[in-house]
């Protein structure tokens, strides 16, 4: 990751790098270094998304998330499948934000 120098990166670029680093922090624990097994996915969900997915400790919930994300049905979640989860959660957060901050969502005149 030495080519990803965060010194001059913008906030969004930093966020993107964090997503990549977070994925690889868990994907490298067992099996294929570049994909998340069910155990790795569970660890990532509970440790990194516990505030949003409080019920992820539930084994059935992990199974469901895994089933939803694993679009090529290889039993592993790769980075492109992971990005879809983060994207969907980000959309849900944005909806929540707009709902509870109606003034800030309004266009300036
Ligand atoms: Ca792995
Ligand atoms: Ca997959």
> Given the structure tokens 């155990």, which residue do they identify?
39
* Ligand whose nearest atom lies closest to the CA of 75: 2
On the question of pLDDT at 3 being above 60, the answer is no
Residues 1-19 have a mean pLDDT of 81
Residue 80 is classified by DSSP as H
Ligand 1 mean position to 25 CA, how many Å?
A: 10
Tell me, rounded to whole angstroms, the distance of Cα 70 from its chain centroid: 14
Q: In 3D, which of 58, 52, 76, 56 has the Cα closest to residue 66?
A: 76
How many Å lie between the centroid of ligand 2 and the Cα of residue 106? Answer: 39
Task: Please report the pLDDT score of residue 7 as a whole number.
Answer: 76
Cα-to-centroid distance, 13 and ligand 1 (Å) = 25
The 8-class DSSP code of residue 107 comes to: P
Give CA–CA dist 91/70, Å, rounded: 20
Q: How far is the CA of 18 from the centre of ligand 1 (A)?
A: 18
Give the mean pLDDT of 96-102.
Answer: 85
Percent of residues, the chain, with pLDDT higher than 90: 59
Nearest C-alpha neighbor of 43 from the set 22, 64, 60 = 22
pTM of structure:
0.79
User: Each residue of 33-79: pLDDT tens digit?
Assistant: 999 999 999 999 989 988 877 655 677 888 888 999 999 999 999 99
| Superfamily grouping for domain 38-92 | EF-hand (1.10.238.10)
User: Around 16, how many Cα atoms within 13 Å sit in the side-chain half-sphere?
Assistant: 9
């Amino acid at each position: 990751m030495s080519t990803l120098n965060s010194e001059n990166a913008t906030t969004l670029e930093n966020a993107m790098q964090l997503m990549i680093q977070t994925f690889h922090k868990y994907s490298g624990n067992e099996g294929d270094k570049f994909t998340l097994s069910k155990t790795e996915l569970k660890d990532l969900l509970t440790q990194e998304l516990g505030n949003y997915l409080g019920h992820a400790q539930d084994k059935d919930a992990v199974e469901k998330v895994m089933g939803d994300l694993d679009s090529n049905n290889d039993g592993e979640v790769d980075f492109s499948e992971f990005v879809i989860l983060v994207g969907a959660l980000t959309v849900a957060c944005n909806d929540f934000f707009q709902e509870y901050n109606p003034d800030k969502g309004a266009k300036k005149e």
